[in-house]
Structure 1
Amino acid sequence: MSYLIEAVLNSEEKNNLREFISQLQESDQRYLLRNEILSSFDSFSTTKSEAQPYFSSNLGKLIYYTQEIILEKESICLIIRPKIAQQEAYRIFEDLNYEAMTVQQLLDTRDRFVNHFHPDEGDVFEIDFRPFYDYSPTIRDPKNIGRGVQFLNRYLSSKIFQDPNQWLEALYSFLSLHSYNGNTLLINGRIKDRKQLSDRIKQALNLVSGFPKSKPYEEFRFELQNFGFEPGWGNTAGRVRETLEILDELIDSPDYKVLEDFLSRIPMIFRIVLVSVHGWFAQEGVLGRPDTGGQVVYVLDQARSLEKQLQEDISLAGLDSLNIEPKVIILTRLIPNSDGTRCNERLEKVHGTDNGWILRVPLREFNPNMTQNWISRFEIWPYLETYAVDAEKELYQEFRGIPDLIIGNYSDGNLVSFLLARRLKVTQFTIAHALEKSKYLFSNLYWQDLEPNYHFSLQFTADLIAMNAANCIISSTYQEIAGRSDSVGQYESYDNFTMPDLYHVVNGIELFSPKFNIVPPGVNENVYFPYTRSEDRPPSKIEKLEELLFSTEDPSFIFGKLEDPGKRPLFSMARLDRIKNLTGLAECFANSPELQERCNLILVAGKIHGAETQDNEEREEIEKMYRIIEQHNLHGKMRWLGLRLPKSDSGEIYRVIADRRGVFVQPALFEAFGLTILEAMISGLPTFGTQFGGPLEIIQDGINGFYINPTNLEETASKILEFVSKCDQNPDYWHEISNQGIERVYSTYTWKIHTTKLLSLARIYGFWNYTSKEKREDLLRYIEALFYLIYKPRAKELLEQHWQR
């Protein structure tokens, strides 16, 4: 972007730049983000009577690409985003000379902004992961970020295929590796080396080619064994032949796509751990409580789908005779004072599974006042190291061995996954769900002010540890990794940042690493399905939920009585916290008399009484909701239900709203993905979703849903009103958007698609980790240094604070 600065300074536009900087200096604001920068420039252009598109001038372009401005006494610092996943920083002085800034200089500038200046260079600890990524391949084109497995497969295949002997030896060694409970899989000792493997494949192909495709594997099993082939190739002659043909092609004409097809069939994963430590993790009575919601639903649905896919894969591989039962364990914490939930039970079977379990391991009783009760996700950090040690023993007992794959969820679960995977030497996947650093503005700069409530020093350190240690990072969307051309991604925000007086992160994560893979979740199609499937909708449940939503009066959990229940319902369902922004939707509705005239607002949240919650943020949002209702006199125009719905009811509630041609609005200030958006869309509800986060990749604006800017209440109300007006003029328009939303989910966001891809990733990464013998020990030792030198001392401090409670 230096060329743009040069272009401005070498033209008459430099006077406009000087005046704009002068205008910024006159304001009290010293740190501006992109929206504020654009707004300030629009105001400046208006005063100059030169309002015009940004790209009509070099100065306009420069301002458009600027993400942050920091104003200092004698200079101005511009942080510019020239393209996705790239950042540049420049300092412009009073005389309009300028210089490029290093990352270290930028972080020092940010420190000065919050009065934490380090006068001596090197006076702050620097974290730099860049050298550890020099050993591994990196993606070049930003468009391919999140397609890591494709890149890795191509890159490593091209290297290993160049040496046929090395390639065959690696393949033979890998196939010789597999067994289950003492039963040899794939090949046995009759195939003694790589050359013999190739010969025997051709002999086996001659054998199975003479059988009918449907001939069961068990009827020719012993003939294959004589050639050296054990179970695992297929359940029928046709399936065995396909698998052997793929392998034969792979040996004779190696190709990365053929390799992927082959590895996707290999039975190598039977035991999976999903780690979700914090919160009230159970199947009933927990949704709507603090620290539960989308993540609990996600993990439960993922566990069911993984078991089902594993069962299907095992059967297709011809392993039924071995009586292999795949096992999926959700590892969470046991809460003795469980408040009527099942969170105090060690084992709970996952509904709808044969061998899926919730395994609850208690925290060690360092402080019974804390560990006997629910602990917020912001407070759980001191207990995780010993929790991982105890969990390892419990998992070994349940599996009678070690798992094949560990998948972490959220920051604390990912840290535990790292600790377990490090000890067990197992493939580790991480799923962030949400990175709090992106959700809480300036949370790293002002971490010391926020530390008493949020303990971000521990969380952000845990994030750095887990994301760099992981073999594979699963994200739901592209923007979660690298953002967009005009916004920074969640993982990208960890690339460089400062936590004043603690450390500088110079290179926190390599966005172009092939460990990043986009695998969006699905929806539970047994619970969430179109409102038109009347045969699957019990009339008694429909009637009960209609009464609950529109007429039941019970001040213990319902606030508001509708004057005209027949109006089109605007519906939203979420936790009452600041980020989910249900109060923002209420305010949007309150500020639009026309919306109030044509629609009712119906909100389903966890609570309606502040005294019922232990969560400070939820209590504040409850109080704010009441202020909005009273200030704008929304009585008779909205209903607010504070309840936790059984899962089957949460699916039907969308359909009841759809029966009345309602609208779903998701007004979050930021949403990492947006499961409720998928649930609403598959139910047939036209959906308005926040433009900040994952919904941008789910919704295609104006085709199967609509974007809203939840910070612009007037614009949001206007978009909803425009849709309602079109529906009033043409009722088919509601059905058109409804049907497009349903089709969007079924084509892209099912759990079948998710788990098929996830297991394929696990097999491919497992293969390359084994064959390439990746040297990760130096990286893991560096990560351990962060854990023991930064994380543990701060966790100990927090534990001491807990003793005072």
Structure 2
Amino acid sequence: MTNDDNKPYIVLISVHGLIRGQNLELGRDADTGGQTKYVVELARALGEHPSVGQVDLITRRVADPTVSEDYAQPIEPLSANTRIVRIDCGEDTYIPKEHLWDCLDNFADNLIEFLKQQPRRPAIIHGHYADAGHVGTRVSHHLGIPLVFTGHSLGRSKRRQLLAAGHSKEALEARYTITRRIEAEETTLGVAERVITSTHQEINEQYALYDHYQPERMRVVPPGTDLQQFHAPAGDEYSTSIAAEVARFLQDPGKPIILALSRPDPRKNIVQLVSAYGESKELQELANLVIVAGNRDDIRDMDTGAQEVLQDILMHVDQYDLYGKAAYPKHHQSDEVPTLYRLAALSKGVFINPALTEPFGLTLIEAAASGVPIVATEDGGPTDIIGNCQNGYLINPLDREDIVAKLLRVLTETAQWQTLVNNGLQGVKQHYSWQAHVEKYLQVIQPLLEQAQASPPVQAKRRKQLHHDRALFSDLDQNLLGKPESLAPFITALQANRKCVLFGIATGRRMDSAMQALKKHSIPMPDVLITSLGTEIYYAPNLVPDTAWERHIDHLWNPRIIRRTLQDLPGLKLQPNREQSRFKVSYYIDPQIAPDLQHINKLLHQEGQAVNAMLSFGQYLDIIPVRASKGLALRWFADKREIPLERILAAGGSGADEDMMRGNTLAVVVANRHNEELSDLTQGENIFFAERPYAEGILEAIEHYHFFQTCEVVTS
């Protein structure tokens, strides 16, 4: 083992999973994924750098007949000065990371003994994931070595997502030991002298959830990309099987390709892209649209969210008659993805990522490395990537005209197209190759390498404002959009109290329409977005859908029977498909000739349909599941976040808001209310009737209830 005393000895720790130098078993289980690949490639790339003396990647030794003998070898050389070192950690068998917590101190003690036996001490220790953070903290304290930390994923974010998916808190503890993980992350963040992330968004929206949030110690070092796999076209891509699969959809396969590649997930916003393409004759004449949305045999066998997205894509292809212009292959192999990018490059096309939110955007880097200009959402990682590479344009993902304009700009400016390609190829080498990653990594840790020993841990104060004490929920159209000039003081007051008061929107709009309105009027992203009259709940920052809520409201819901029962009634007309959703059947209603709401409910009850029928503004009738409404969704959320209803201020102005404002919530009816629909509320308790309209009325209620002044947040 080469060991140059004048060059730093770097120790990387990645405890769980199956780690070896060759033939990584990626995807074998939840513990053997992207992180294991990353740490092995990082160790190799660091070891190849001329200024690094030695690199040890420390992991757990596993002696288990159910896995390869490779994982039982104490030492595995990767190069002359780089090796994988496997340390005993409790029992020898291969067990999930969630069950390792009780043996991590044993692992740390064994690692300390190993390091004491080395010719010299490491210059830094870099822990990857919470378990390695815990071990790294122990080693750092004992040996006085500076600690670097990368969370990869964080417990607080995971807990939010799993609660949204319907898991109980008890189940999270039993299966994921989530509290121990979060506490380990908190302790590590208090000790680590550098925290390395992939994007600024991770710092601002994920690490910011922690008490020991120290942004001054955090640095963005984007992960490296395999430039052997992703590269400019070689010229033989048209002869591949995936090229033939795409071409069979198209009348003129030689046109430039607009390529979209993602999971069939509503947040990826592919349907909006299809609509934008369908509404632009110029785009259709210039280019083909190629959508690669996962693999499928039968859409009916997929989960509900994927089904809806794929069905929407197919319906929009049919609506705009895009046959021969749009390709949507059913299958592709992972090793065909680079070829898809190169096909787009050969065609003088463009890669687009229109996602509503995009924390990083690895596909954009892969496309750039393959010689394709990019168009991407103005959220999160793409802003960093396009800022670094100057190889494309940002879009508002909810503005079809903006999507079309940016795509046309790439496709029609021929000379600029080549400039974007060249910028992308150069930018990826400079910012996103493994060599670039290591250069920036070493710059980040250089001040630590010059230290004689670790700095003392920062005693960060518990940030009381982290834990929301109360919540403010508002309708969108009737409360916030009608008088734009009243928004600014409301937003200012909200932002000043955002760490104490959770902000929610409850609207009849669909999620995409609501997001478009929020962006247009510069309304801050809410912590929770209740849409389609309470039939959908989404959580910030990544618009994670509450799938447990979906399962809950699906009880007794049968929209086919509803449509059949009401199809011949006078004065009712179904609204366009864009206003319908899985859990909402929407009509225009003419009260002059249509039956009243009581009669409509009676007809539905006679057909065995227990539903909520809602009349809004005297002209809209919406039928939703009996378990769904704005008020019921609000209470579901309040129960999950353990926020008492007495500390929730609900603001509304139409009949659809009524059950949000009844009961134990504090409530305000803004002055521009729809009087007839909310007349019964005059007798309710805790309901304030504002004298001012729209956002001004909400501010009036905030003062009336002393809502911001009475925050009494507690730590947990």
State the TM-score, normalized to the length of structure 1: 0.46
How has the CA–CA distance of structure 1 residues 519 and 394 changed in structure 2, closer, same or farther, with 3 Å as cutoff?
Answer: same
How has the CA–CA distance of structure 1 residues 702 and 391 changed in structure 2, closer, same or farther, with 3 Å as cutoff?
Answer: closer
Corresponding residue of 1:743: 426
In the alignment, structure 1 residue 275 sits paired with structure 2 residue 14? yes
In the alignment, structure 1 residue 699 sits paired with structure 2 residue 386? yes
Deviation of 1:306 (Å): 0.5
Q: Is the 8 A contact 2:12 2:43 kept in 1?
A: no
**What is the CA deviation profile of residues 33-90 of structure 1, one whole-angstrom value per residue up to 9, with x for unaligned ones?**
xxxxxxxxxxxxxxxxxxxxxxxxxxxxxxxxxxxxxxxxxxxxxxxxxxxxxxxxxx
Corresponding residue of 1:657: 344
In the alignment, structure 1 residue 470 sits paired with structure 2 residue 153? no
What secondary structure, in the 3-state scheme, does the structure 2 residue paired with 1:754 have?
helix
Q: In 1, distance between residues paired with 2:348 and 2:270? A: 19
Q: Is the 8 A contact 2:123 2:449 kept in 1?
A: no
Corresponding residue of 2:311: 627
Q: In 1, distance between residues paired with 2:127 and 2:82? A: 17
Q: Please, which runs of 5 or more residues in structure 2 have no aligned partner?
A: 462-716
Q: How does 1:284-363 map to 2 (within 5 A)?
A: 286=26, 295-296=35-36, 298-309=38-49, 312-313=50-51, 326-329=54-57, 331=59, 345-346=71-72, 353-354=79-80, 356-357=82-83
Corresponding residue of 2:206: 490
Corresponding residue of 1:407: 126
How has the CA–CA distance of structure 1 residues 742 and 290 changed in structure 2, closer, same or farther, with 3 Å as cutoff?
Answer: same
Corresponding residue of 2:406: 723
What secondary structure, in the 3-state scheme, does the structure 2 residue paired with 1:734 have?
helix
Q: How does 1:360-759 map to 2 (within 5 A)?
A: 375=96, 380-387=97-104, 389-390=106-107, 393=110, 401=118, 403-422=122-141, 425-435=144-154, 437=156, 449=168, 452=171, 457-481=179-203, 483=204, 489-494=205-210, 507-512=211-216, 515-531=217-233, 534=234, 539=236, 542=237, 546-551=240-245, 565-573=253-261, 576=263, 581-582=267-268, 584-586=269-271, 588-589=273-274, 592-594=277-279, 597=284, 598-603=287-292, 605=294, 607-608=295-296, 619=303, 621-632=305-316, 637-640=326-329, 645-646=334-335, 650-700=337-387, 703-710=390-397, 712=398, 715=399, 717-759=400-442
**What is the CA deviation profile of residues 339-397 of structure 1, one whole-angstrom value per residue up to 9, with x for unaligned ones?**
xx97974469999855545567798669x8xx56xx5xxxx433234156347647976
Q: In 1, distance between residues paired with 2:444 and 2:69? A: 32
Identity among equivalent pairs (%): 21
Q: In 1, distance between residues paired with 2:28 and 2:392? A: 26
Corresponding residue of 2:667: none
In the alignment, structure 1 residue 776 sits paired with structure 2 residue 457? yes
Deviation of 1:757 (Å): 3.9
How has the CA–CA distance of structure 1 residues 548 and 419 changed in structure 2, closer, same or farther, with 3 Å as cutoff?
Answer: farther
Q: Is the 8 A contact 2:371 2:425 kept in 1?
A: yes
Q: In 2, distance between residues paired with 1:289 and 1:722? A: 43
Q: Which has the higher helix share?
A: 1
How has the CA–CA distance of structure 1 residues 701 and 766 changed in structure 2, closer, same or farther, with 3 Å as cutoff?
Answer: closer
Q: Is the 8 A contact 2:25 2:32 kept in 1?
A: no
Corresponding residue of 2:694: none
Q: Is the 8 A contact 2:107 2:135 kept in 1?
A: no
Deviation of 1:307 (Å): 0.8
Q: Is the 8 A contact 1:421 1:427 kept in 2?
A: yes
Q: In 2, distance between residues paired with 1:572 and 1:421? A: 45
Whose RCO is larger (CA < 8 A, sep 6+)?
Answer: 1
Q: Is the 8 A contact 1:427 1:471 kept in 2?
A: yes
Deviation of 1:604 (Å): 6.1
Q: Which moved more, 1:672-681 or 1:439-448?
A: 439-448
- AA matched with 2:273: C
**What is the CA deviation profile of residues 5-27 of structure 1, one whole-angstrom value per residue up to 9, with x for unaligned ones?**
xxxxxxxxxxxxxxxxxxxxxxx
Q: Is the 8 A contact 2:253 2:288 kept in 1?
A: no
Deviation of 1:308 (Å): 0.8
How has the CA–CA distance of structure 1 residues 741 and 778 changed in structure 2, closer, same or farther, with 3 Å as cutoff?
Answer: closer
Q: Is the 8 A contact 2:345 2:372 kept in 1?
A: yes
What secondary structure, in the 3-state scheme, does the structure 2 residue paired with 1:602 have?
strand
Q: In 2, distance between residues paired with 1:424 and 1:692? A: 42
Q: How does 1:20-99 map to 2 (within 5 A)?
A: none
How has the CA–CA distance of structure 1 residues 552 and 655 changed in structure 2, closer, same or farther, with 3 Å as cutoff?
Answer: closer
- AA matched with 1:407: H
Deviation of 1:548 (Å): 1.8
How has the CA–CA distance of structure 1 residues 721 and 430 changed in structure 2, closer, same or farther, with 3 Å as cutoff?
Answer: same
Q: Is the 8 A contact 1:430 1:470 kept in 2?
A: yes
Q: In 2, distance between residues paired with 1:653 and 1:610? A: 23
Deviation of 1:684 (Å): 1.8
Q: In 2, distance between residues paired with 1:744 and 1:449? A: 45
What secondary structure, in the 3-state scheme, does the structure 2 residue paired with 1:697 have?
helix
Q: In 2, distance between residues paired with 1:463 and 1:561? A: 49
Q: How does 1:116-155 map to 2 (within 5 A)?
A: none
Q: In 2, distance between residues paired with 1:350 and 1:731? A: 51
How has the CA–CA distance of structure 1 residues 721 and 633 changed in structure 2, closer, same or farther, with 3 Å as cutoff?
Answer: closer
Number of residue equivalences: 446
Corresponding residue of 1:176: none
What secondary structure, in the 3-state scheme, does the structure 2 residue paired with 1:529 have?
coil
Deviation of 1:405 (Å): 3.1
State the TM-score, normalized to the length of structure 2: 0.51
- AA matched with 1:758: Y
What secondary structure, in the 3-state scheme, does the structure 2 residue paired with 1:530 have?
coil
**What is the CA deviation profile of residues 464-503 of structure 1, one whole-angstrom value per residue up to 9, with x for unaligned ones?**
222222121123444443x4xxxxx432233xxxxxxxxx
Q: How does 1:790-801 map to 2 (within 5 A)?
A: none
How has the CA–CA distance of structure 1 residues 390 and 747 changed in structure 2, closer, same or farther, with 3 Å as cutoff?
Answer: closer
Deviation of 1:681 (Å): 1.6
How has the CA–CA distance of structure 1 residues 642 and 306 changed in structure 2, closer, same or farther, with 3 Å as cutoff?
Answer: farther
Q: In 2, distance between residues paired with 1:734 and 1:293? A: 35
How has the CA–CA distance of structure 1 residues 668 and 721 changed in structure 2, closer, same or farther, with 3 Å as cutoff?
Answer: closer
Q: In 2, distance between residues paired with 1:404 and 1:704? A: 38
Q: Is the 8 A contact 2:87 2:107 kept in 1?
A: yes
**What is the CA deviation profile of residues 419-474 of structure 1, one whole-angstrom value per residue up to 9, with x for unaligned ones?**
55445553321123454646886889999856636855454333322222212112
How has the CA–CA distance of structure 1 residues 725 and 588 changed in structure 2, closer, same or farther, with 3 Å as cutoff?
Answer: closer
Q: In 2, distance between residues paired with 1:440 and 1:414? A: 18
Q: Is the 8 A contact 1:610 1:619 kept in 2?
A: no
Q: In 2, distance between residues paired with 1:451 and 1:688? A: 43
- AA matched with 1:718: E
How has the CA–CA distance of structure 1 residues 701 and 393 changed in structure 2, closer, same or farther, with 3 Å as cutoff?
Answer: closer
- AA matched with 1:608: R
Q: Which moved more, 1:664-673 or 1:299-308?
A: 664-673
Q: How does 1:168-183 map to 2 (within 5 A)?
A: none
Q: In 2, distance between residues paired with 1:776 and 1:293? A: 31
